[in-house]
A and B are shown apart, each in its own frame.
Chain A
Amino acid sequence: MNEWLDPLLLSRWQFGLTTMYHFIFVPLTIGMALTVAIFQSAWVRTDKAKYLQLTHFFGKIFLINVAMGVVTGIVQEFQFGMNWSDYSRFVGDVFGAPLAFEGIVAFFLEATFIGLWIFGWDKLPKKIHLGTIWMTVVGSIASAYFILAANAFMQNPIAYTINEEKGRAELTSIWELLTNPIAIAAFPHTIFACFMVSAGLIISVAAWHLYRNQHLDTMRPALKFGLWMMVIAGVLTTLAGDQLGLAMVDAQPMKMAAAEALYHTATGANASFSVFTLGTPDGVHELFSVRIPYLLSFLSTHTFDGTVEGINNLQAQYVTLYGPGDYTPTIWITYWAFRWMIGLGLAHMLVAVAGLWLTRGGRSPKRTWVWKVAIWSFPMSLLAMSVGWVFTEMGRQPWLVFGLMRTADGISPGVTGVEILISLIVFSLLYGILAVVEFKLILKAVQKGPDDAPVQDAESGAHQHAVTVY
């Protein structure tokens, strides 16, 4: 068959594309819901108009994203069955449960209360209306937990037994499944990273206005809020990422080796972390490298004299365990994705710390480039998050479920390459067009800035219709 129509390759591209795209809206939903909830709480507490303006302003940006998050989420839910039916048959008994939990417990909560929040401004008492956005926050965070628990099973399959007769994995303990060490570590890492992305958005938006010296009364507090959120979420993301690294070394040592492109097992000072490497394209031969000794040992084991297993070693072990085959992920992708994730993440914390310093006590930096750096916060933090997912998913390859099922064995045998090519083209075009529309709409909402403080109706106390009607 024509290699263009290879169902495996096309299915992988489609899953990668649709998931990365969906995951632009997930962190925005999670993080912006929290942001809006905090601003609205501040308004309810202090009754200051600027907090209401910020609630509406970021609420509007939040809402433009919500619809996209919902509809691209349906694609995710359907795609396991459509493109990965053999995977679904094999793991459904285990993997389906957290997905069902996510739907029943989290999605309904999120979808119902978001509707109440959008349209409930003049229909609900102030505090109950505030409660609806907090319920949305709870729903969005709970859904993240369940989906990460499902994903953790693919990284570190536990709590199952193989039913030979039915040829599938079966769940043995839901508790064990939901407390998978990878899930426990990945959850805070992901959630705080989502908050970083939202903080990036707030910083970008606020900096854009402040650079133009407009909307100072609202955008200045917004900038401060975004900077603090970035610093705090950044520290927590880093700490959680460190824990995730330890859990990963335990469950998937190959991924850590691939993250460093470490071919030979190394101990202590030799287990160094390379900040930057130039090598032959396959990554096997190194030409030039900036290295920090001991750091990889520390990241992997939290000791300075630890041993980190190399790719060649692990490959040999896996051949004995699982039979002949290539068990190495694509090294240049894992290597660089790992670095970009950490580099961009740390850079953002630095930018935020610098921002807090430069704006201390009412100061405002004069230099243009300072503001330009701040305006790039959002795309860069989003990129950090995206490459983080590329790393964790590409680092799992060639496995679909680590040690249990190869990616190649999970596709839908009944679906032809042509069908998948059609759907890949359709999704690429559709998502591409929507990205342009979405970007323009958000840009327009951002540039318009917050509306003037809404006038309060003296009798009813009703404030606004700004976000109440389509």
Chain B
Amino acid sequence: MDLTILWFWIIAFMFIGYFVLDGFDFGVGMSLPFLGKDDTDRRVLINTIGPVWDLNETWVIVAGASLFAAFPEWYATMFSGFYLPLLLILVALILRGVSFEYRHQRPESSWKKWFDGLIIVGSAVPAFLWGVAFANIVRGVKLNANHDYIGTLFDLLNPYALLGGITTLLLFFVHGVVFVSLKTEGDIRLRARKLATKAGIVTILAAATFLAWTTLAYGTVASALLAALAAALLLASFLANLRGAERLAFALMAGTIGLVVLTLFSSLFPEVMPASNNPANSLTIANASSSTYTLGVISWTALIAMPVILLYQGWTYWVFRKRIGRAHIDLAVH
């Protein structure tokens, strides 16, 4: 296979990794006001992702660096073009990340409330904006001949992109809530299941609309199949959650998110950032990619390192496989 095409799919894989993993972190963060009745509950919630949020977030750094190395033009256009949304994402991720560490440093409830608020907002903002960003890429943005973005901020806030944002926000929310039901015990586990059902209905509606819109406006045969499959898995996840099959529901949510990302990438293919104003200005796999030599070098690295990475990351999840309950929190010395 042509290395440039291989890397297009590796980039898709990296973003799938990021959205599937940090996606449930965002969901858990957003679930604080719904599932966290008191401080102990909220600590249970935060501790479900405690050991892993850092490594999950590292996926976005690696995705960004890989994009830079494999498709410098794509990286440059996307990151400079989506300047203010990315700034917001960065601020949100910073506030969320430090809040996990800071909230337990002092016992006062006013102190904790501050950081709970920051965790909620810091989770919701990127969950929404990543959807807006990727929907805009699929929709196409105004680019000049140098591939620089020439639209405005408001061009990015079009109905299709906003729906994309709402879809990722809801998907990540349900993903996180299902994760909570899988990782906790006691009352909170049951409440998480119920919340996943309620939120699931809205999510199915939003995701189905977004996937249909994507298919009709920008789709190919392949993307249509992937979109249908994504919708089917989402529905199956909903049913699995209803029946209390938590592990299955979570796996199906992960599959749904992966398939939504694949739907978007296969709608893009073989472009990477279509120019809506003039097709000649579009960034494609061919004109945005690095040289064959560089792609070869990073291919070998990824090929050797990725299995090891997946192995030790998988091991981490296995080490922390036990459910967490209120009893664990009360035991902890603080």
**B34 at the A interface (CB under 8 A):** no
Are B90's CB and A414's CB within 8 A?
no
Contact pick for B333, options A96, A419, A466, CB 8 Å: A466
Select the stretch in B67-75, B240-248, B254-262, B264-272 that faces chain A.
B67-75
A94 touches B77 (CB 8 A): no
- Specify which chain B residues have a CB less than 8 angstroms from the CB of A110 in the assembled complex: 58
A67 & B68 in contact (Cβ 8 Å cutoff): no
Hey, which chain B residues are within 8 Å of A81, CB to CB?
Answer: 64, 68, 75-76, 78-80
Q: Are B291 and A104 in contact (CB under 8 A)?
A: no
Pick from A82-90, A305-313, A315-323 the stretch touching chain B. Answer: A82-90
- Nearest residue (CB) in A for B333 is A465
- Evaluate whether A470 and B100 lie within 8 angstroms (CB atoms) in the complex, with A74-B60, A115-B52 already known: yes
Nearest CB in chain B to that of A60: its residue: B105
Q: Which residues in window 149-176 of A have CB below 8 A to B?
A: 163, 168, 170-172, 174
Give the residue name and chain of the B residue nearest to A454 (CB): B333
Verify if B123 is at the interface (C-beta below 8 Å from A): no
Question: What's the Cα separation between A465 and B332 when bound, in Å?
Answer: 6
A-side contacts of B83, CB under 8 Å: 82, 412, 415, 419, 423
Q: Tell me whether A71 and B97 are in contact in the complex, defined as CB-CB below 8 angstroms, given that A103-B61, A468-B332 are known contacts.
A: yes
Given the complex, which residues of A lie within 8 Å of B201, measured CB to CB? none
Q: Is the CB of B103 within 8 A of A414?
A: no
Cβ of A361 to closest chain B Cβ, rounded Å: 37
Stretch in A116-124, A253-261, A329-337, A401-409 with 4+ CB within 8 Å of B? A116-124
Confirm or deny: B81 has a beta carbon within 8 angstroms of a beta carbon on chain A: yes
Stretch at the interface among B171-179, B225-233, B274-282, B306-314: B306-314
Q: Is B216 engaged at the interface, CB distance under 8 Å to the other chain?
A: no
Contact partner of A96 (CB less than 8 A), chosen from B70, B144, B149, B309, is B70
- Whether B76 pairs with A85 at a CB distance below 8 angstroms is yes
Q: Closest CB-CB distance, B72 to chain A, in whole Å? A: 2
B297 near A470 (CB under 8 angstroms)? no
A434: nearest chain-B partner, CB-CB: B98
B298 at the interface (CB under 8 A from A): yes
Residue A112 contacts which of B72, B148, B305, B316 (CB distance < 8 angstroms)? B316
Contact B328 A100 (CB under 8 A): no
B101 within 8 A of A: yes
A-B contact count (CB 8 A): 240
Knowing A74-B57, A88-B68, A89-B73, the reply to whether A107 touches B62 (Cβ < 8 A) is yes
Is the CB of A1 closer than 8 A to any CB of chain B? no
Given contacts A74-B57, A85-B148, contact A101 B319 (CB under 8 A): no
- Which residue from A68, A105, A413 sits with its C-beta under 8 Å from B305? A105
A444 engages B105 (CB within 8 Å): yes
CA distance A114 to B312 in the complex (A): 12
Q: Does A75 contact B (CB under 8 A)?
A: yes
Looking at chain A's contact residues, the main secondary structure is helix
| A108 B313 Cβ-Cβ under 8 A | yes
**Is B62 in contact with A163, judged by CB distance below 8 angstroms?**
no
Verify if B132 is at the interface (C-beta below 8 Å from A). Answer: no
- Given A100-B66, A115-B55, A412-B148, A422:B84 Cβ within 8 A: yes
Whether, in the assembled complex, B51 has its beta carbon less than 8 Å from a beta carbon of chain A, the answer is yes
Which chain A residues border B298 with CB–CB below 8 Å? 96-97, 100-101
A78 within 8 A of B: yes
Interface size class of B (residues with CB under 8 A): 35 or more
Residues of A near B84 (CB, < 8 A) are 419, 422-423
Asked if A347 is at the interface (CB within 8 A of a chain B CB), the reply is: no
Pair B90/A78 contact, Cβ less than 8 Å: yes
Closest CB in chain B relative to A130 CB, distance in Å: 15
Q: Are B79 and A85 in contact, with the CB atoms below 8 A?
A: yes
Tell me which of B61, B69, B331 contacts A97 (CB under 8 A).
Answer: B69
B75 to chain A: which residues have CB within 8 Å?
80-81, 88, 92, 96
Q: Give per-residue flags for A66-80: 1 if the beta carbon is below 8 A from chain B beta carbons, else 0.
A: 111011111101101
**B145, chain A: closest CB distance, angstroms:** 12
Cβ contacts under 8 Å, B302 to chain A: 100, 104
Given A82-B79, A116-B51, check contact A92 B290 (CB 8 Å): yes
In the complex, are the beta carbons of A115 and B316 less than 8 A apart? yes
B residues near A249, Cβ cutoff 8 Å:
none
Interchain CB contact under 8 A, A163 and B68: no
Contacts of A171 in B (CB 8 A): 290-291, 293-294, 297
Contacts known (A99-B68, A414-B150); A114 close to B54, Cβ less than 8 A? yes
Interface status of A437 (Cβ within 8 A of chain B) = yes
B102 at the interface (CB under 8 A from A): yes
Contact of A413 among B47, B86, B146 (CB under 8 A): B146
Q: How far is the CA of A465 from the CA of B316 in the complex (A)?
A: 19
> Does B104 touch A at the CB level, under 8 Å?
yes
Top 10 A-B pairs ranked by shortest CB distance?
A92-B72, A81-B79, A96-B69, A414-B148, A103-B62, A85-B80, A85-B76, A100-B69, A119-B51, A71-B97
- Can you name 19 extra interface pairs (CB under 8 A) apart from A89-B72, A107-B61, A470-B100? A66-B54, A74-B94, A81-B76, A89-B73, A89-B147, A93-B72, A96-B68, A105-B301, A105-B305, A108-B55, A111-B54, A124-B319, A170-B294, A171-B293, A422-B84, A466-B333, A469-B328, A470-B43, A470-B47
What are 11 A-B residue pairs whose CB atoms fall within 8 Å in the complex? A80-B79, A82-B79, A82-B80, A88-B72, A91-B72, A97-B69, A100-B69, A112-B312, A115-B316, A469-B50, A470-B100
